[in-house]
Structure 1
Amino acid sequence: MNIIFNFLSILLNSIFNFTGDWGLAIVLLTVSVRLVLSPMSFKQKKSMQQQQKFAIKMQELKEKYKNNKDKLDVELKKQSVQSAKSMMGCLVTLLQLPILMTMWSVFNKIPVSVGTYLIPWVSSIKLSDSYYVIPLIYMIVSLAPSLLSYVTLLKIEGQATISKSNIIIMAVVGVLVAKAAPIALGIYLITTSVFSFLEELVFRIYMRNVKTEKQ
């Protein structure tokens, strides 16, 4: 973790020396890291989608062969093998977490207390936003990926739609987290949420095109 922390700290300082603004440096570093992690994230999304399809398939098999236990066991074993292979793709999340957690620590430990052109109404990125602008922006962009499941053209077969009650809970938690966090972390949260939204949008368009080609 120390190696990752030192590398990201050096990279952040290098970007700052180029831009002259800590807020912009945070945005550029966040986007750069997320771009590097995108292939893993994309693979994870595909694996999760396959897992959902396997769950539906297994339920269908249980219903189809409910009166034929031997046949059901054979079919379930076949699905279990395929499901296990797909599950490996979901484990890539574990590779991303240390990097993203370290970035949080890097931004939280920026050694100076200055403002940023991105958020002109605050005097220091080490302070929280007393006007609640950052928390509200974060709430909106963090919910955006979940709301895509309600768009008919972007729905993915077999994927459950997040309930409205869960969306409300996520919104409240998002505001509380962003309100307690300093501006530096708020910028990071907003940037990574916008990236997640675009990543989810691209994935859904990709899955829709794949489905169209198969038809």
Structure 2
Amino acid sequence: MTILYELFGSMLYYIYNFVGDYGIAIILFSLIAKLILLPINIKQTKSMQATNKVQPEIQKIQKKYKDNPEKLNEETMKLYREHNINPVGGCLPLLIQFPIIIGLYRVLQQPQIYVFGSQEAYDAIDKAFLWLPSLGQPDPLHILPILAAVTTYLYMSTSQTPGGNEQAQQMNQSMKIMSPLLIGFMAWTFPSGLALYWVIQNIFTFVQQIFMRSLFTQEGGK
């Protein structure tokens, strides 16, 4: 993972040298990161949409063979094959994204190590941005933590698809509440540069989810 941290750190460092503003560099870095992950996100969304379309049929199979797990699994896999659905298609993109997300997070959590190479070099740059006196310190007005929580809720609301059993639906609802609260709590105490990254990522993801859902709905109607 250290190689990944150093790679992303170098990317952010070059962006900073180009624009000369640490806040703008973080915003551009966030957008570039989302563009890198875009093909993976598209694949994941397509897989989720395809799985969601057959949810009514899956629920019928579950009800019909609830006392026969072996037949239930057989008929479910048969349905997936008929519709060319990979049951793990939505999980693989998440596994690919995970180390990348962790890498981006660590770089912005410790820029003095992975971006600027030393605490002295990091201390020497101007970290003020908009109302923030320093992107290396928590937001004194707590605007970014609130935005981080709100935007997390928005993008999670658009990324969740209907369907699934009652337990899955309850879990989705719990995650939709707990995740924004957790992100907001973390952003309250973490460097505001990291909170800024979260907000930009969430806004981009929210717009991306709306666009892809609209696009795939149009394609499905043709």
Equivalent position of 1:201 in the other structure: 210
SS at match of 1:116: coil
Cα deviation digits, residues 19-66 of structure 1 (max 9, x gap): 111111111111112101101111112212333444432221344678
Aligned pairs for 1:139-178 (under 5 A) are 139-148=149-158, 158=163, 163=173, 167-178=176-187
Q: Is the 8 A contact 2:153 2:177 kept in 1?
A: no
Contact in 1 for aligned 2:142/2:188 (Cα 8 Å):
yes
The 1:42/1:9 distance shift into structure 2, 3 A limit, reads same
Is the Cα contact below 8 Å between 1:47 and 1:89 reproduced in 2?
A: yes
1:136 aligns with: 146
The normalised TM-score by structure 1 is 0.79
In the alignment, is the contact (CA less than 8 A) between 2:55 and 2:163 conserved in 1?
A: no
What count of residue pairs does the alignment treat as equivalent? 205
Alpha-carbon distance between aligned partners in 2 of 1:175 and 1:65, rounded to the nearest angstrom: 43
The alignment yields a C-alpha RMSD, in angstroms, of: 3.2
Q: Deviations over 1:109-162 (max 9, x none)?
A: 222244233xx333221110121111111122112123448xxxxx96647696
- The residue correspondences of 1:44-63 to structure 2 (distance < 5 A) are 44-63=44-63
- CA shift at 1:81, angstroms? 4.7
- Cα distance, 1:27–1:71 mapped onto 2, change above 3 Å: closer
Unaligned runs of 5+ in 1: 150-154
Task: Describe the shift of the 1:156–1:209 C-alpha distance in structure 2 as closer, same or farther (beyond 3 A).
Answer: farther
Q: Deviations over 1:72-126 (max 9, x none)?
A: 7763341255687241342121111111111111111222244233xx3332211
What amino acid is the match of 1:90?
Answer: C
CA distance in 1, matches of 2:73, 2:135: 59
Pick closer, same or farther for the CA change 1:66–1:94 going to 2, 3 Å.
Answer: closer
Contact 2:48 2:161 in 1 (8 A): no
Q: Check the 8 A contact 1:141/1:190 in 2, yes or no.
A: yes
Q: Decide whether the 8 Å contact of 1:30 with 1:188 is kept in 2.
A: yes
| 1:157–1:144 distance in 2 versus 1, CA, 3 Å | closer
Tell me the TM-score normalised to structure 2 length: 0.77
Letter in 1 for 2:128: T
What is the rounded CA distance, in whole Å, between the counterparts of 1:198 and 1:69 in structure 2?
Answer: 40
User: Any gaps of 5 or more consecutive residues in structure 2?
Assistant: 113-121
Q: CA deviation at 1:208?
A: 1.8
Asked whether the equivalents of residues 47 and 90 of structure 1 are also in contact (C-alpha less than 8 Å), the reply is no
- 168-177 or 194-203, which deviates more: 168-177
Runs (4+) of structure 1 moved beyond 6 Å? 65-73
Contact 1:51 1:87 in 2 (8 A): no
Q: Aligned with 1:124: secondary structure?
A: coil
Answer yes or no: is the 8 Å Cα contact 1:132–1:179 preserved in 2.
yes
- What is aligned with 2:41? 41
Report sequence identity in percent: 26
Counterpart-to-counterpart distance in 2, 1:5 and 1:88: 27
